[in-house]
Amino acid sequence: MQPSILHLPSSIIRPLTSDLIPQSAVCSRHSAVLRPRTSDLSHQSAVGSRQSAVLRPLTSDLIPQSAVGSRQSAVLRPQSSVLTLLTSLLLLLLISACTKKDDQVTTIHATPYTIQVPLHFPGELNIPEDNPMTVEGIALGRYLFYDGRLSGRDSPDSLMSCSTCHIQAHSFVCGINHPVFTGGHPRGLTGIQTSHFMLPMINLVWTNHGYLWNGLVSEENQNEGYRELEDVVGLVIELPSEIHGDTNRTKTMIQSIKGYPELFEKAFGSRTVTAKNISRAIAQFVRTLISADSKFDRFMQGQEQLSPSELNGYVLFMTEQGGDCFHCHGGEGNPLFTTNLFYNNGKDSVFTDPFDRFSVTGNAVDIGAYKAPTLRNLVFTAPYMHDGRYKTIEEVIDFYSSGLVWSPSISPLMHHIATGGVRLTPSQKADLKAFLLTFTDSTFVTNPAFSRPDKMPDEQ
Ligand code: HEC
Ligand code: HEC
């Protein structure tokens, strides 16, 4: 089901005006004012209990309204005041029981899924209250993630899904050797290039300061449609540089495919496909994409030793006098290998990208700043940086070693700017690279649970 994006018929390239996000919306998005963060991240235990509360299986023992009515009239014959009191109490109990049961009608018969937080990982997970993880939701999300008809079209040359660009073998980027996306720069269904190169989909359930290179989609965004991972799905479907469709057409398409209505019913309690539930299911699947089985993880768990070169690299990574990487990219206390925060790491002195962090915050210190990406699975995620300017890990290390450029908004954490970088010797560079490669998690890129399903719902 891989779409062929190379040879698009002109009918598809014609601009679909109704699909374009109006310029005004784009502008308001970028001038979005930040409101103070609330501490509304879901905590693991809270999530767990919420799930079990909402997802109680439906029992068929609802008291029918008519039965309640007749019982009421039966018990309401006045006998004695005590009896009246008792019967009113009973009545109250009955009524509250009924209300509770009525609520259950709208809850879902789905199996709660609890994310096991790996050893040493932060306990706080970003799972919105209105989209608890369920086995059925994740299974549905996996189909949709891989189903090219997410584009709302089903002719072979107009298919596109998340997996068109987010490829498991590359830790969910498209890869530098992609046959169509030359040099690793993706283009949307109608041929328009994405404004940035890709970000890997690794451990996004811990993302807590916004998605995308500039953090546009974040709980701090005033615009409700740009807050959660769920919202990214709607954006992808509509963005001209991605699917260039519209969520209504996608909804209608998915509704018409045999098998999907049943899967929506299992996951969300209704056969009616909605754009919201499409987004919810895909987001649930994406939240399961956890990498925690690298050599570094096993080292932290005392199961494997690092080589002398890797250990030297580890020290360089973790010390200010060495490579000075840990402030922005984590370390043993933060095995996500990112703070998920935004920095100008000193690549340029002049900034022309209209979609940097500054475009979101309007704050001059954010000029030229981007999210510090996770360093997990670097070996699969070239090219590097938001503009893909470095093709190899060596080039990145050379940059941090001696290629830094000063600008007024450079991060104060780039301590070695005066010397143009951290000035590593060739053997230190080799050691640092060896350490970075200990973040390679081959289980993640081969895990069958993350892969394309053998058959789509209508092929079963
Ligand atoms: C045409 C290629 C393409 C398709 C199709 C695509 N993406 Fe992406 N995705 C990208 C690019 C490029 C970025 C980085 C964009 C940026 O931040 O400017 C990205 C970034 C993301 C991010 C942000 C990750 C982070 O660390 O903040 C998420 C989440 C995401 N995509 C989810 C999806 C989902 C879900 C789908 C399917 C509904 C999808 N993408 C389809 C190209 C694509
Ligand atoms: C001040 C914070 C900061 C420090 C310190 C820092 N980085 Fe980064 N790093 C970033 C940011 C921000 C980006 C993304 C910049 C962009 O895309 O324009 C990045 C990108 C990278 C990338 C590319 C990842 C990808 O998927 O594209 C690698 C590799 C990397 N850094 C490694 C290192 C190493 C190794 C060190 C130490 C020698 C280091 N970084 C120090 C902030 C930092």
**Residue 211 in contact with ligand 1 by CB distance below 6 A:** yes
Asked whether residue 42 is assigned to any structural domain, the reply reads no
Give the domain-ending residue among 290, 306, 322: 290
Ligand 2 centroid to Cα of residue 373, in Å, is 7
Q: Whose CA is nearest to atom 3 of ligand 1?
A: 165
- Residue of 1, 138, 162 with the most ligand 1 atoms within 8 Å of its CB, for mutation: 162
> In this structure, which amino acid lies at residue 63?
I
**Residue 232 in contact with ligand 1 by CB distance below 6 A:** yes
d(CA 285, CA 222): 26
Asked whether residue 446 is assigned to any structural domain, the reply reads no
Q: Is the pLDDT at 94 greater than 80, yes or no?
A: no
Which CATH number characterizes residue 356's domain?
Answer: 1.10.760.10
Q: What percent of the chain has pLDDT over 90?
A: 76
Q: Are residues 270 and 335 in the same domain?
A: no
Number of structural domains found in the chain: 2
Q: Are residues 156 and 190 in the same domain?
A: yes
Q: Are residues 191 and 336 in the same domain?
A: no
**Residue 386 in contact with ligand 2 by CB distance below 6 A:** yes
**Residue 213 in contact with ligand 1 by CB distance below 6 A:** yes
pLDDT range class, residue 39, cuts 50, 70, 90: very low
Ligand 2 centroid to Cα of residue 372, in Å, is 6
Q: Region 389-396: what's the mean pLDDT?
A: 98
In terms of pTM, does the model score above 0.85? no
Kindly give the number of the ligand 2 atom that is closest to the alpha carbon of 344.
12
Residue with tokens 């009955």: 94
Ligand 1 centroid to Cα of residue 199, in Å, is 7
Q: Are residues 316 and 436 in the same domain?
A: yes
Asked whether residue 43 is assigned to any structural domain, the reply reads no
C-alpha atoms less than 13 angstroms from C-alpha of 78 in its C-beta half-sphere:
1
Q: Region 165-176: what's the mean pLDDT?
A: 98
Kindly give the number of the ligand 2 atom that is closest to the alpha carbon of 342.
12
pLDDT, residue 108, reads 65
pLDDT, residue 443, reads 97
Q: Are residues 177 and 313 in the same domain?
A: no
Q: Which of 34-43, 99-108, 262-271 has the lowest mean pLDDT?
A: 34-43
**Residue 196 in contact with ligand 1 by CB distance below 6 A:** yes
Give the domain-ending residue among 290, 307, 336: 290
- Which ligand is nearest to the Cα of residue 230, counting in written order? 1
d(CA 457, CA 262): 9
Q: Are residues 235 and 312 in the same domain?
A: no
d(CA 278, CA 236): 12
Ligand 2 centroid to Cα of residue 178, in Å, is 23
pLDDT, tens digit, for every residue of 8-24? 333 322 222 222 323 33
Q: Is the pLDDT at 47 greater than 60, yes or no?
A: no
pLDDT, residue 109, reads 82
Q: Region 33-50: what's the mean pLDDT?
A: 32
pLDDT range class, residue 387, cuts 50, 70, 90: very high
Asked whether residue 4 is assigned to any structural domain, the reply reads no
Q: Which of 82-86, 162-166, 363-367, 383-387 has the lowest mean pLDDT?
A: 82-86
Q: Whose CA is nearest to atom 36 of ligand 2?
A: 325
d(CA 124, CA 44): 6
Q: Are residues 356 and 380 in the same domain?
A: yes
Q: What angle do CA 261, 266, 270 make, to 5 degrees?
A: 55
A 10 A CB-CB count for 391 gives: 14
Asked whether residue 283 is assigned to any structural domain, the reply reads yes
Answer yes or no: are the C-beta atoms of 244 and 144 closer than 8 Å.
Answer: no
pLDDT, residue 342, reads 98
| Cis status, amide bond into 122, omega within 30 of 0 | no
Tokens of 183: 């040099």
171 phi-psi bin (left φ>0, alpha ψ -120 to 50, beta other): left
- Which ligand is nearest to the Cα of residue 203, counting in written order? 1
Kindly give the number of the ligand 1 atom that is closest to the alpha carbon of 211.
27
Q: Region 151-172: what's the mean pLDDT?
A: 96
Asked whether residue 353 is assigned to any structural domain, the reply reads yes
d(CA 167, CA 1): 13
**Residue 167 in contact with ligand 1 by CB distance below 6 A:** no
pLDDT range class, residue 264, cuts 50, 70, 90: very high
User: The domain containing residue 371 runs over which residues?
Assistant: 295-440
The whole-chain average pLDDT of the chain stands at 82
pLDDT, tens digit, for every residue of 402-458? 999 999 999 999 999 999 999 999 999 999 999 999 999 999 999 999 999 999 999
Name every residue whose Cβ is closer than 8 Å to that of residue 35 and which is 6 or more positions away in sequence: 220, 222
Give the domain-ending residue among 249, 268, 290: 290
Ligand 1 centroid to Cα of residue 103, in Å, is 37
d(CA 211, CA 219): 10
**Residue 242 in contact with ligand 1 by CB distance below 6 A:** yes
Q: Whose CA is nearest to atom 34 of ligand 2?
A: 325
Q: Are residues 371 and 269 in the same domain?
A: no
Q: Are residues 276 and 171 in the same domain?
A: yes
